[in-house]
Homo-oligomer: A and B are copies of this chain.
Amino acid sequence: MLKSDGAHDHHEDGSRQLLKEYVRRNVDFGDPELDAFCEPFSQRTVARNAFLLKAGQVCRFEGFVTRGYFRLYAEDPRGREKVLYFAGPDWWVTDIDSFTNQVTAQLSIQALECSELLVISKTDKERLYAAIPKVEKLFRIMTQKTLVALQRRLIGTHSLSAEERYLLFFSDYPEIARRLTNVHIASYLGVTPEFVSKIRRKLATRR
């Protein structure tokens, strides 16, 4: 699978390379462990605006983004969306609650441009934990980072003004933020799109 002349497989080689580099930055894996770790992942391409997961389904995958970006959001009964976070290359995407407990997902995951990721099933992930104990450390660290990000998000929503949240968002997501519409930024910040335009105008006049 890793040696091929096909364009698609060259592509997939590149994705696996990104995953390997991610793993190496976090844990001390030898080459055989790295190959064994990557083996059960399969490549998926998601078209712009298509859904990787819709609220109400059960989330059967955990995915490592290699290209493009996704938004992970919840919808209230009135259809108002709240973006929990955006995920670009090097980020993991799943509904952790649904994937772990195999319950109905409350999150939807949508690609905001044509995107690619490497996905693993729950069964394969459990097999990895059993076969390579160091995988525990990898996901302990990854889950801890996600928890830190979510805690900052919860505190920021409470403690910062909309303008401060906007500035923090651009420093947290420099690559993604520039490509987003005001509507998506608004549903992350918890304000109206008009309010985002207002902040943008205000900040522009300061420069």
Contact = CB atoms under 8 A, between A and B. Distances in A.
Contacts of A97: 148, 151-152
A49 interface: no
A171 to B, nearest CB: 16
A170 interface: no
A47 B154 CA distance: 28
B151 A153 contact: no
B136 A140 contact: yes
Nearest to A74: B155
A77 interface: yes
Contacts of A84: 151, 154-155
A164 to B, nearest CB: 10
Interface string A143-184: 110111011111100111000000000000000000000000
B75 A148 contact: no
Interface string A79-116: 01010100000000001110011000011000000000
A129 B75 CA distance: 39
Given A133-B133, A140-B136, A148 B96 contact: yes
A84 B159 CA distance: 12
A51 interface: no
A130 to B, nearest CB: 10
Contact of A144 (B133, B137, B143): B143
Given A133-B133, A137-B136, A139-B140, A75 B159 contact: yes
Contacts of A155: 74, 82, 84, 106-107
Contacts of A158: 74, 76, 80, 82
A134 B96 CA distance: 22
A77 B154 contact: no
Nearest to A78: B159
Contacts of A160: 76
Between A96, A100, A136, A150, the greatest number of chain B beta carbons within 10 A of the residue's beta carbon is seen for: A136
A101 to B, nearest CB: 7
